[in-house]
């Protein structure tokens, strides 16, 4: 049965779909087209996934009721079943576009989707793949390609496109308060269970690449570096207050490589775990003695007034 593709799939789902043994790619066309100055395309519902790349000039258009402007190097991926129309922009000179239309067929499976169309700016890295697809289509136009013939090119097109889309979307985004609370709870509850960036991405239902980009925008560190720092800080606070030996403590927090733990600890705090514990306890005793002395002596003004009385 054909995919009921009303929206663009995510990168992970797209690549997974391409690996299915029963998947077949049906290419409707893959053309490089020079457009006349006053060209206006048909206003129609696309019957297949459409990748529309502007190589030279500029194109205006409307996709699913939204106005779009594509300059040289820009690309838009329109999902199957969406209405779109394109026309050459005024004063754009010679316009050349590359268009790929295809349907991914899989039996007895469906995908979840995220957007009806996605636009990427300055996507020149897609051009070599589009050229190869154009050449493949010219060689055997109109036939249905199986994955062993075009899996590599199509996977490269999809993966590169989604990578560009995720980079552009993530560049200016940070996690909202709700997602920060989810992350804080998961990290706090599972910090010593070796939670990974992939685990956190799954909690938010995001691809690992997109999650990593937005995480760094939000917290200023890559996820793995952030988790390492949090583990060390929490381990240091617990170890300083405990009476466990270092070996017993590492076993309790599931840290099997004591040498590695000590090395990372020293890089973070500038001392060994035992030295850190000693300094914390010495600081605590010093503070306690200071508080005790101030309470026993009392304020000077109080003693003077007592003698006068």
Residue of 227, 217, 221 lying closest to 183 (CA atoms)? 227
Question: Average pLDDT of 192-215?
Answer: 85
Residue 86 dihedral angles phi and psi, to the nearest 5°: -130, 150
What pLDDT score does 1 carry? 29
> Over the chain, what HEC string results?
CECCCCCECCHHHHHHHHCCCCCEEEEEEEEEEEECCCCECCCEECCCEEEEEEEECEEEEEECCEEEEEECCCEEEECCCCEEEEEECCCCCCEEEEEEEEEEECCCCCCCCCECEEEECCCHHHHHHHHHHHHHHHHCCCCEEEHHHHHHHHHHHHHHHHHHHHHHHHCCCCCCHHHHHHHHHHHHHHHHHCCCHHHHHHHCCCCHHHHHHHHHHHHCCCHHHHHHHHHHHHHHHHHHHCCCCHHHHHHHCCCCCHHHHHHHHHHHHCCCHHHHHHHHHHHHHHHHHHHHHHHHHCCHHHHHHHHHC
What the block records as the tokens of 5 is 């593709």
Of 32-41, 205-214, 292-301, give the range with the top mean pLDDT.
205-214
Instruction: Give CA–CA dist 278/298, Å, rounded.
Output: 30
Query: What mean pLDDT is predicted for residues 31-36?
Result: 64
- 10 Å CB burial of residue 305 (0-12, 13-18, 19+) is exposed
| More confident: 290 or 51 | 51
Homologous superfamily, domain 11-170: Regulatory protein AraC (2.60.120.280)
Report d(CA 27, CA 144) in Å as an integer. 6
Residue 69 has pLDDT above 80, yes or no: yes
Q: What is the pLDDT of residues 130-175, one digit of tens each?
A: 887 777 666 555 555 555 566 677 777 877 787 777 666 555 477 8
């Amino acid at each position: 049965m054909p995919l009921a593709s009303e929206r663009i799939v995510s990168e992970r789902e797209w690549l997974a779909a391409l690996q299915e043994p029963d998947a077949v790619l049906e290419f409707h066309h893959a053309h490089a087209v020079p457009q006349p100055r006053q060209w206006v395309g048909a206003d129609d519902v696309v019957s297949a996934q459409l990748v529309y790349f502007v190589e030279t000039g500029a194109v205006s258009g409307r996709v699913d009721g939204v106005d779009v402007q594509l300059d040289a190097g820009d690309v838009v991926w329109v999902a199957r079943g969406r209405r779109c129309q394109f026309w050459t922009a005024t004063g754009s000179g010679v316009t050349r576009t590359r268009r790929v239309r295809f349907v991914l067929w899989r039996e007895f499976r469906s995908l979840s989707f995220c957007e009806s169309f996605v636009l990427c700016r300055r996507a020149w890295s897609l051009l070599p793949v589009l050229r190869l697809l154009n050449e493949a289509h010219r060689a055997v136009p109109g036939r249905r390609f199986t994955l062993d013939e075009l899996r590599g090119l199509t996977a490269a097109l999809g993966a590169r496109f989604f990578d560009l889309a995720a980079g552009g979307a993530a560049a200016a985004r940070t996690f909202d308060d709700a997602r920060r609370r989810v992350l804080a709870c998961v990290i706090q509850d599972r910090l010593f269970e070796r939670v990974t960036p992939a685990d956190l991405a799954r909690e938010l239902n995001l691809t690992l690449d997109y999650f990593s980009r937005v995480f760094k925008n939000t917290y200023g560190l890559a996820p793995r570096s952030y988790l390492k720092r949090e583990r060390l800080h929490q381990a240091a606070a617990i170890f300083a207050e405990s009476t466990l030996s270092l070996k017993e403590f590492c076993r309790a927090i599931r840290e099997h490589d004591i040498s590695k733990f000590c090395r990372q600890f020293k890089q973070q705090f500038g001392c060994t775990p035992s030295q850190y514990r000693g300094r914390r306890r010495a600081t605590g005793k010093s503070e306690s003695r200071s508080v005790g002395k101030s309470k026993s002596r009392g304020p000077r003004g109080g003693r003077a007034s007592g003698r006068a009385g």
